[in-house]
Amino acid sequence: MLRGMTQEQLGDLVGIAFQQVQKYERGANRISAGRVYEMASALGVPVSYFFEGMSDAVADASPARIRIDTDTGPAMESLASDETSKREALQLVRAYLRMATPEIRKTFLEMVKSFSPAELEAEDAADGKAVTAA
């Protein structure tokens, strides 16, 4: 979605069914380095694009390391099961990436973070990110 391409289009470009693309996205199936390279080429991005900004916390939350029945708390469970939220999050990220300058993106990010609950700000601080008061 971020690159303006459907799963079906991506699958066609790399020679796989869109269902396989879905399985890769969800982490249901492992993806080989060669397939990552093919997808990066099809999307017009470097392979590193898929790993940029990945924190240890994100790596630890890999589907390969999480069981389906893991209790993540009611807020995260409802968010994860809400397809509308997923679509909204992707739309938000796409809009963010289209912002003209780094200064505008930074200002927008700080504004969004100011609406976040205090616990999320504490998590950001624990991850070594700068947290500013709104």
pLDDT reading at 16 higher than 90? yes
Q: What is the pTM of this model?
A: 0.44
Instruction: Work out the mean pLDDT of the chain and round it to a whole number.
Output: 75
- 132 versus 84: the higher-pLDDT residue is 84
pLDDT reading at 83 higher than 70? no
Q: How confident is the model at residue 66 (pLDDT cuts 50, 70, 90)?
A: low
Q: How far apart (Å, rounded) are the C-alpha atoms in residues 129 and 14?
A: 37
Residue ranges and CATH numbers for the domains of the chain are 1-66 (1.10.260.40)
